[in-house]
Amino acid sequence: MKKLYYVINGANLNMLGQREPEIYGTKDYSFLKKTVKNAARSLGIRVKVYQSNHEGDLVDMIQRAYLKGACGIVINPGAYTHTSIAILDAVKATKLPTVEVHISDPDSREDFRHVSYVRLAAEKTVSGHGIDGYVEALRYLAEK
């Protein structure tokens, strides 16, 4: 049975490609999904790709990754990165290897984006590599 990984995206990532292309690029969320699924196929793993604008739904999905026996999580919580202790606690509770991904590089943007709660539970952070950052994160987890 192929190993399963969860790729979880938070607030506003469904809007990719529709606004602020200078920050987030021109590719839309369906391209992101397709890219992640193609990468999973070539890495020989299974992925569940999920997006929600609601913090509690993201917590539910992190818990589900654990309950379904996933081997790791790739997560871009969107702006919840900078605010959500609930997401941090959920990731910590799963004890699953987790990679934090950001399409942009939040550390070179506004000060309020410099704090990341989820980073405290993440093994690795990939920032500023666009959608390719998700592939990098999945490859890291799959090759562990």
Q: Which residues of this protein are in contact with ligand CA2, per CB under 6 A?
A: 12-13, 15-16, 18-20, 24, 76, 78-79, 81, 102-104, 106, 113
Nearer to ligand CA2, 20 or 60 (CB): 20
Q: Indicate the residue among 16 and 73 with the shorter CB distance to ligand CA2.
A: 16
Among this protein's residues, is 102 annotated catalytic? Answer: yes
End-to-end distance of the chain based on CA atoms, in angstroms? 17
Q: How many residues does the chain have?
A: 144
Cβ distance 72 to 98 under 8 Å?
yes
24 labelled catalytic: yes
Q: State in angstroms the smallest separation of the CB of 110 from ligand CA2.
A: 8
For the bound state, the minimum distance from the C-beta of residue 67 to ligand CA2, rounded and expressed in Å, comes to 25
Nearest residue (CB) to ligand CA2, 3 versus 119: 119
- Give the relative orientation of helices 85-94 and 55-67 as an angle to the nearest 10 degrees: 0
The minimum distance between CB 104 and ligand CA2, in angstroms, equals 3
The answer to whether residues 58 and 80 touch, using CB atoms and an 8 Å cutoff, is yes
Q: State the SS3 of 53-97.
A: CCHHHHHHHHHHHHHCCCCEEEEECHHHHHCCHHHHHHHHHHCCC
The smaller minimum CB distance to ligand CA2, of residues 81 and 84, is found at 81
CA distance 127 to 114: 12
Catalytic residue among 29, 50, 102, 117: 102
In whole angstroms, the minimum distance from the beta carbon of 36 to ligand CA2 comes to: 14
Annotated catalytic sites, by residue?
Answer: 24, 102
